[in-house]
Structure 1
Amino acid sequence: MQIPHIDNAPPGEPLQDVTGVILAGGRSSRMGRDKALLEVDGVPLFERVLSVMTPLFSRLLIAGERPDLARPDLPFVPDIYPGSALGGLHAGLTAAETQWIFVAACDMPYPDPALIRQILALRFGYDVVVPRTATGLEPLFALYGKGCLAPMEAMLRQGSCRIYDFYDEVRVRVLTAEELPAGADRAFVNINTPTDYGRATERKP
């Protein structure tokens, strides 16, 4: 019989064994300006993600060379292999002192804390917990464990950057579209272009 794992934090308390990682190393080339500082409802995108993640994790860091966003309790780590989101994941996971990281991109205006907790609750026994919607996997709003480091690094050394290409080599739990709560697609909205930004600012809170 499998022994159930028990979360190491009471409900509402920040987790001790997962580091929250905000991906902020992108060049924002399609947007033409720094996405992390774009405001939705008067709050910069980076701060929107940070405000959701702060109560959930006892440790947080920024993946990407962003000293402008860092603060004493929120260090940044530059990519070891620059140029891709996979490189940011690898840098965050390498720097983390915990077994797992939960990663969210800094350009997501509506991250859902309840959905994050649903993902975190599935972490035991897996290297990756990733949601899948009707449009596909959401690898930049997902959980990764230290067991991912070797296959990540092998890919990066080969110049391969498509995140889910290493999933076959690790233990993956896919959170299916049927398991996601109603309205979960809103949490996966991200802003890459001025058109995306216009749509996000037109949405109702």
Structure 2
Amino acid sequence: MKQKYFQHNFNAFVLAGGKSKRLGINKSLMQIDGRSLIERTVALLQPFASEIFISANDPGTYHFLQREIIEDIFKGSGPLAGIHSCLSCTNKKYNIFIATDLPFVNSEFISFLIDNYDDESILIPSIGGRLHFLCGIYKKEIHGAAYELLKNASVKENGKINVSVFDLFKKVKGKFIEVADQPFIKKELLFNLNTQDDLLAYKKILRKK
């Protein structure tokens, strides 16, 4: 699927998450060069989508973006719940999802993903065999499969549910594409901000740029 067809046919969703328990802050509002991570992600997606939405459960936090906020139908159920809710309400067959805590994702990577998309239920990148589920293309029609997983989920002792986006990927026979050998790939491309150590590493990378 070529990029010139993408903006007309696709919506995009920014997975904002919320306050990180491990970081103690809302990662999406972290300021980099005078702009928050979520503003950066929205701007990155602008050329690729008909509309851009924010997946978040604290809508008041993101009113400044002037985008429609999609709240989870299944509260407290992690990224799978966000993807399910977004696919349930989208008016497009194809949808791209990007987590806001992937600060080094670039337009070359998104273009590559789009150009290699071929009507898969899910298409996600892999770097050296590691799959990245929160940066990919998802078809609307799989929202029913996500619903079934969430409806039948149980809560583990740690308070988290026992299903994930990986379970959806397996259920709908999603595909991945290896991107490690692509010219736009740098080691930190899909670097994810989760812990204080990640934050320190992130700042170290920025100082080198």
1:145 aligns with 2:147: no
1:120 aligns with 2:122: no
1:76 aligns with 2:69: yes
Distance 2:129 2:198 in 1: 17
> Residue 87 of structure 1 aligns to which amino acid in structure 2?
A
**Contact 1:129/1:175 (<8 A) preserved:** yes
Shift of 1:82: 1.9
Over aligned residue pairs, what C-alpha RMSD do you find?
2.2
Distance 1:98 1:73 in 2: 20
- Stretches of structure 2 lacking an aligned partner (at least 5 in a row): 154-161
Q: Which runs of 4+ in 1 moved over 3 A?
A: 5-9, 70-73, 177-182
Shift of 1:43: 2.5
Q: TM-score, normalised by structure 2?
A: 0.84
- Identify the residue that residue 36 of structure 1 maps to in structure 2: 28
Distance 1:137 1:161 in 2: 16
> Residue 183 of structure 1 aligns to which amino acid in structure 2?
I
- Identify the residue that residue 189 of structure 1 maps to in structure 2: 191
Distance 1:26 1:173 in 2: 28
Distance 1:184 1:150 in 2: 36
Q: Secondary structure at the match of 1:70?
A: helix
Of residues 1, 7, 11 in structure 2, which corresponds to 1:19?
Answer: 11
Distance 2:93 2:197 in 1: 38
Shift of 1:178: 4.9
**Contact 1:104/1:142 (<8 A) preserved:** yes
Distance 1:155 1:179 in 2: 34
Q: Deviations for 1:30-80, whole angstroms, at most 9, x for unmatched residues?
A: 110111111234431111211211122120000112332135751101000
**Contact 1:115/1:184 (<8 A) preserved:** no
The share of aligned pairs that are identical, in percent, is 21
Distance 1:48 1:109 in 2: 8
Q: Using a 3 Å threshold, how does the CA distance of structure 1 residues 88 and 184 change in structure 2: closer, same or farther? A: farther
> Residue 14 of structure 2 aligns to which amino acid in structure 1?
I
Shift of 1:127: 1.0
Shift of 1:192: 1.2
> Residue 189 of structure 1 aligns to which amino acid in structure 2?
F
**Contact 2:72/2:81 (<8 A) preserved:** yes
- Stretches of structure 1 lacking an aligned partner (at least 5 in a row): none
> Residue 127 of structure 2 aligns to which amino acid in structure 1?
T
Of residues 164, 167, 191 in structure 2, which corresponds to 1:165?
Answer: 167
Q: Using a 3 Å threshold, how does the CA distance of structure 1 residues 156 and 45 change in structure 2: closer, same or farther? A: same
- Identify the residue that residue 37 of structure 2 maps to in structure 1: 45
